[in-house]
């Protein structure tokens, strides 16, 4: 809202200094500061409210050191992240931007699913929470919305060929040389030259009008990615500071991708896909990253609050939508390698247990316990050491992801 106010003051009343709000970098900086203030200052009040209402974590006995002390710790702290993200976005972002609207919908949608899950666990005393099939239905529903909008909305376009842009001609791009913006299901294959993959090409065998049916491929892929990443974030939220810290690293990396992809000069220099209007997501990402860091103030060991599914499902959904929007979803296995490892550890553990039980009459395990972070807890590592090392791995994966901008 402030963006539109200052735009009016600048263009209609010509008030000096108000034009600075037109810059994404300025608004992103304000979004970080505001989200940090909200999450740290008001976060404490929310935690005290949750404690007074006895909205605490019910910890199942899993034989892990220090686990009993966690019982009763306030949960649903994801509300802090959501609030500290949306308030700066509403104030500072262009709310008519299709990507910003999608991210707001994603935040509210996944936040609602997570809130229902936490509500059932706490107030209905059902440790299983929302049934898995209903979570999946919610994730699929969001995937349908995101996939449909990104495929059909006229404002979602790309320019895959920026090599013909003369940036320095009279300090402005020569409009006659600009490639035409087009609807496309193209995405980026990391670490390869000429690295665009068009999902529509997978249907080239269907005839000359195969591109008209590209949504049959694109939308299911979007659904799969959103479901997988949100579940990965949910599984990673098992020890203090792990999910929030690793997510912050991934989100900041996606912020760089969004900024360069939405800037015609940087996209031309890096020879990457230019995505008009996507740079506005940087404001949202800045607010989201600030909210996560502010939440970490209270979530690092020993945690004063847990994010619950309200936070973890929301985080995963936002990261998935961001990656898809900037056409970097094929980089998710690298950038979100921690989520992938947590997911795979559970899948492998359960599958191997069932296989060996059927074959040998008794179930055997690959890991001492899954998800993966619990395996290291069982081996005797302290929570803080596990989290710090996972953060280091996440930073290495983020750097490796950023290198894909030039290493092809």
Q: What is the pTM of this model?
A: 0.92
CA angle 253, 257, 259 (to 5 degrees): 115
Share of residues in the chain with pLDDT > 70 (%): 91
Q: Among 52-61, 289-298, 382-391, which stretch is predicted with the lowest mean pLDDT?
A: 52-61
Instruction: Give the pLDDT confidence score for residue 69 in this predicted structure.
Output: 64
More confident call, 311 vs 18: 311
Q: What is the pLDDT of residue 178?
A: 52
Q: Which of 3-7, 123-127, 155-159 has maximum average pLDDT?
A: 155-159
Q: DSSP labels for 291-353?
A: HHHHHHHHHSSSPS---HHHHHHHHHHHHHHHHHHTT-GGGHHHHTHHHHHHHHHHHHHHHHH
What pLDDT is recorded for position 328? 94
Residue-level pLDDT at 64:
66
pLDDT at 162: 53
More confident residue, 162 or 288: 288
CA 28 – CA 254 distance, rounded (Å): 14
Is 198 in a helix, a strand, or coil?
A: strand
Question: Mean pLDDT, the chain, as a whole number?
Answer: 89
The predicted-structure confidence for 224-282, as pLDDT tens digits, reads as follows 999 999 999 999 998 999 999 999 999 999 999 999 999 999 988 888 889 999 999 99
As a whole number, mean pLDDT of residues 45-73 equals 72
Cis amide leading into 407 (omega within 30):
no
Angle 346-352-357 (CA atoms, 0-180°, nearest 5)?
130
- pLDDT tens across 73-126, in order? 888 999 999 999 999 999 999 999 999 999 999 999 999 999 999 999 888 888
pLDDT score, position 18: 81
Q: What is the pLDDT of residue 170?
A: 43
pLDDT one-digit tens code per residue, 361-393: 888 999 999 899 999 999 999 999 999 999 999
What digits encode the pLDDT tens for the residues 302-356? 899 999 999 999 999 999 999 999 999 999 999 999 999 999 999 999 999 999 9
pLDDT of residue 5: 85
């Amino acid at each position: 809202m402030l963006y539109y106010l200052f735009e009016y003051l600048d263009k209609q009343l010509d008030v000096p200094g108000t034009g600075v709000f037109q810059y994404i970098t300025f608004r992103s900086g304000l979004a970080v500061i505001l989200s940090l203030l909200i999450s740290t200052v008001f976060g404490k009040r929310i935690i005290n409210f949750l404690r007074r209402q006895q909205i605490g974590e019910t910890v199942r006995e899993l034989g892990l050191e220090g686990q009993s002390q966690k019982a009763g710790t306030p949960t649903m702290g994801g509300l802090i992240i959501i609030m500290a993200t949306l308030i700066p976005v509403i104030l500072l972002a262009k709310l008519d931007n299709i990507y910003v609207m999608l991210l707001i919908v994603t935040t509210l949608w996944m936040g609602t699913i997570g809130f229902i899950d936490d509500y059932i666990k706490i107030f209905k005393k059902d440790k299983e929470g929302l049934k898995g099939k209903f979570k999946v239905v919610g994730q699929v529903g969001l995937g349908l919305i995101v996939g449909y909008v990104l495929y059909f909305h006229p404002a979602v376009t790309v320019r895959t060929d920026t090599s013909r842009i003369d940036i320095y001609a009279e300090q402005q791009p020569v409009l006659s040389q600009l490639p035409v913006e087009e609807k496309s299901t193209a995405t980026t294959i990391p670490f390869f030259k000429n690295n665009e993959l068009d999902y529509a090409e997978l249907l080239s065998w269907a005839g000359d009008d195969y591109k008209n049916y590209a949504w049959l491929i694109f939308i299911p892929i979007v659904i799969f990615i959103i479901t997988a990443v949100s579940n990965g974030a949910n599984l990673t939220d098992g020890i203090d500071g792990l999910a929030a810290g690793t997510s912050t690293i991934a989100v900041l990396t996606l912020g760089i991708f969004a900024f360069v992809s939405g800037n015609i000069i940087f996209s031309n220099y890096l020879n990457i896909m230019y995505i008009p209007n996507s740079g506005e997501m940087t404001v949202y990402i800045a607010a989201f990253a600030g909210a996560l860091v502010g939440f970490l103030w209270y979530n690092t060991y020993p945690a004063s609050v847990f994010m619950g599914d309200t936070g973890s499902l929301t985080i995963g959904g936002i990261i998935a939508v961001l990656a898809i929007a900037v056409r970097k979803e094929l980089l998710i296995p690298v950038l979100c390698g921690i989520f992938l490892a947590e997911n795979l550890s559970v899948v492998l553990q359960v599958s191997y247990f069932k296989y060996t039980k059927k074959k040998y009459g008794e179930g055997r395990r690959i890991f001492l316990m899954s998800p993966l972070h619990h395996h290291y807890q069982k081996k005797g590592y302290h929570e803080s050491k596990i989290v710090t090392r996972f953060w280091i791995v996440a930073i290495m994966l983020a750097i490796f992801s950023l290198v894909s901008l030039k290493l092809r």
